Amino acid sequence: MSETTSTENLDFIRTRVKDDLESGKRQNIVTRFPPEPNGYLHIGHAKSICLNFGIASEFDGKCNLRFDDTNPAKEDQEYVDSIIEDVIWLGYNWGDNLFFASDYFDQLFEYAIKLIKNGKAYVDSLSMDQIREYRGTLSEPGKESPYRDRTPELNLELFNKMKNGEFDEGECVLRAKIDMSSGNINLRDPVMYRVLKKDHHRTGDKWSIYPMYDWAHGQSDSIEGITHSLCTLEFEDHRPLYDWFLEQLDIHRPQQIEFSRLNLSYTVLSKRKLMKLVSENYVNGWDDPRMPTISGFRRRGYTAESIRNFCEKVGVTKQQATMDMSLLEHSIRDDLNKKALRVMAVLDPLKVVITNYPEGQVEELDAINNPEDESAGTRKVPFTKELYIERSDFMEDPPKKYFRLFPGNEVRLRYAYIVKCVDFVKDDKTREILEVHCTYDPETKGGNTPDGRKIKGTIHWVSATESIKSEIRLYDRLFTEENPENDSEKDFTEFINTDSLTINTSAYLERNLEQASPDINYQFERLGYFKLDSVDSKKANLVFNRTVTLRDS
Ligand code: ATP
Ligand code: MG
């Protein structure tokens, strides 16, 4: 921690970490990011990643990446791989500290034996439904199971049989023996193990029983020597159980601290719901650029830095709030304004013929790659007799204050010449403008205005003959409602924005983009920030994703 950082600037968790170090309660800091490999990471996870890895690095500690792989029914190696890729991409490093809760299955089993021997856990033969029924409600205490007083000897025997696969799924469970009348339902003899006859992606068919989240999580934290176990607010009521297990086992005690989860407007952040969007084909996979997943944002063109900055701005508190998507968009614009290479592209082309420009001539004009970064240099852009401009940059009969092209008016073509509209061709039937005719002033090359003429409009263009055609994917919000989960009657999928993806196959790009790199962010001047699609783009058919528009609309 740098000496100049005062406590006032720290969030409540960092303040606590700092205090724990200063008071000597902790000698070093160990945090962890504990994803369950049952889906891809989303922007909410990014908040947790930035927090856990951030604290570790600020306080000279370490942060483990631990897969919470305790439910083989839902977990998969594909998810493990994607999570690793995403955390690395976000810019974090766990060094040698990559762990799996499944690595602790033997140790957890031993811990369970200890609780059984101490009379703190028992094998229950009630059905899952009965267990639920006996649990009681918030206003009513629970009821004790008739199997609650089995002797430790019998429990050990039954638990070993569970382990050896001698019971079917649902026949029995191991429960902690705590208090069926506790005001905290989590303490009403929670289930620690259930029989699950499924192969695990790491332990194969070794186990017929698998630990429940609350049992696996805290003990995994303890085994790893975690000092501060940071989790979201819904686990606040689990903390007494977290502490109870550690106390009964008399092992290293991490401190669980809860913070509010990140919610984002116009999207959903729950793996279950994101899974539904993927499996029911509302989107094209977990990394669809409309998804709020880290892989989706990456494919769309978001930078890791913009996501980290966003998480920092969001901060860490205990207040529940939904962040506005526009805050995230602000963060990516801010970053790309500094980094993106400027190029010219026309998405909705209208042909312009420069009537006094020599047929067949190609002039290479200088264009600035990034006005925010001189070191990005310049490039050559070919200028020819036939060009494309945006259809919206010409009007036959413009309103006042329209400074772009219209009959008789002059505009500046970016990096090229001042041109004057002298004529246009219109389709008699459809009334569509087919072509605009202009003359150019050779004296005005590169933005030069020799006679001090006032030119109010500058528009972008590409050569009609020296450009490349490409596919552009434009994205809008995935949902039409700010909070698609708010309606108690309707499923969130009913609020999907059916116009969230627009595919444009008639765009023209300046020729330099033939060499476009999937690692570079581009600004198409006046149109927004774009990135080559890492999945579908091919040399013969370039595909670009619009990351974000230039301004908030
Ligand atoms: P989801 O609710 O999306 O299914 P999860 O909590 O089940 O997510 P995990 O893989 O268990 O997913 O999450 C790993 C870590 O990320 C946990 O510590 C969890 O608290 C944290 N996390 C998950 N969602 C958010 C969020 N929206 N904001 C902040 N942290 C989150
Ligand atoms: Mg979870």
Per-residue pLDDT tens digits for 113-171: 999 999 999 999 999 999 999 999 999 999 999 999 999 999 999 999 999 999 999 99
What is the Cα 230 distance to its own chain's centre?
19
Amino acid at residue number 486: N
| Residue 7 banded pLDDT, cuts 50, 70, 90 | low
Quote the ligand 2 centre to 271 CA distance (angstroms): 9
Assign 140 to helix, strand or coil.
coil
| CB of 228 closer than 8 Å to CB of 31 | yes
Encode 438-459: b = buried (16+ Cβ within 10 Å), e = exposed: bbbbeebbeeeeeeeeeeeebb
Residue 92 CB contacts under 8 Å (≥ 6 apart), including other chains? 49, 53, 63
Q: How far apart are CA 131 and CA 81, in angstroms?
A: 36
Q: How far apart are CA 247 and CA 497, in angstroms?
A: 50
Q: DSSP secondary structure string, 167-200?
A: S-TTS-EEEE---TT-SSGGGSS-EEEEE----B
Closest Cα to atom 27, ligand 1: which residue? 44
| For the CA of 256, the nearest ligand | 1
Residues tagged active-site: 36, 261, 271
* 66 φ/ψ angles, rounded to the nearest 5 degrees: -125, 120
β-bridge partners, 538:
541
Q: In what order do the strands lie in the sheet with 191-195?
A: 121-124, 173-176, 191-195, 209-211
Residue 76 CB contacts under 8 Å (≥ 6 apart), including other chains? 37, 38, 201
- Please return the burial class of 515, using the count of CB atoms within 10 Å of its CB with bins 0-12, 13-18 and 19+: exposed
| Residue 453 banded pLDDT, cuts 50, 70, 90 | confident
The average pLDDT across 370-383 equals 97
Q: What's the CA dihedral at 515, 516, 519, 523 to 10 degrees?
A: 140
| CB of 292 closer than 8 Å to CB of 269 | yes
| For the CA of 69, the nearest ligand | 1
Q: Which residue has the tokens 């790659």?
A: 369
The average pLDDT across 270-280 equals 97
Q: How far apart are CA 281 and CA 276, in angstroms?
A: 8
Q: What is the mean pLDDT of the chain?
A: 96
Residue 34 CA: which ligand 1 atom is closest? 14
The average pLDDT across 224-247 equals 98
Mutate to test the pocket of ligand 1, among 40, 45, 83 (most ligand atoms within 8 A of CB): 45
* CA geometry: angle 35, 37, 39, nearest 5 deg: 100
Q: What's the CA dihedral at 328, 333, 338, 341 to 10 degrees?
A: 130
Per-residue pLDDT tens digits for 456-497: 999 999 999 999 999 999 999 999 999 999 999 999 999 999
Closest Cα to atom 29, ligand 1: which residue? 261
| Residue 553 banded pLDDT, cuts 50, 70, 90 | confident
Residue 427 CB contacts under 8 Å (≥ 6 apart), including other chains? 433, 434
| For the CA of 66, the nearest ligand | 1
Per-residue pLDDT tens digits for 217-226: 999 999 999 9
In the prediction, which pLDDT does 3 show?
47
| Residue 552 banded pLDDT, cuts 50, 70, 90 | confident
Asked if residue 5 has pLDDT above 80, the reply is no
β-bridge partners, 510:
467
Q: How far apart are CA 343 and CA 524, in angstroms?
A: 5
Mutate to test the pocket of ligand 1, among 13, 48, 212 (most ligand atoms within 8 A of CB): 48
Q: How far apart are CA 340 and CA 335, in angstroms?
A: 8
In the prediction, which pLDDT does 342 show?
98
β-bridge partners, 467:
510
* 486 φ/ψ angles, rounded to the nearest 5 degrees: -80, -20
Residues with CB under 6 A from ligand 1: 34-36, 44-45, 47-48, 231-232, 261-262, 269-272
The average pLDDT across 55-79 equals 95
Residues in the chain, overall count: 553
Residue 274 CA: which ligand 1 atom is closest? 3
In the prediction, which pLDDT does 6 show?
57
The average pLDDT across 326-339 equals 97
Closest Cα to atom 1, ligand 1: which residue? 270
Per-residue pLDDT tens digits for 309-324: 999 999 999 998 899 9
C-alpha distances out from residue 245 to 141, 213, 253, Å = 22, 13, 10
| CB of 530 closer than 8 Å to CB of 516 | no
- Candidates 46, 3, 22; CA nearest to 328 is 46
Q: How many CB atoms lie within 10 A of CB 549?
A: 14
Quote the ligand 2 centre to 35 CA distance (angstroms): 7
Per-residue pLDDT tens digits for 184-216: 999 999 999 999 999 999 999 999 999 999 999
β-bridge partners, 365:
381
The average pLDDT across 437-441 equals 97
Residue 38 CA: which ligand 1 atom is closest? 10
Mutate to test the pocket of ligand 1, among 83, 232, 314 (most ligand atoms within 8 A of CB): 232
Quote the ligand 2 centre to 36 CA distance (angstroms): 6
DSSP label at residue 396: S
- Candidates 458, 460, 412, 457; CA nearest to 438 is 412
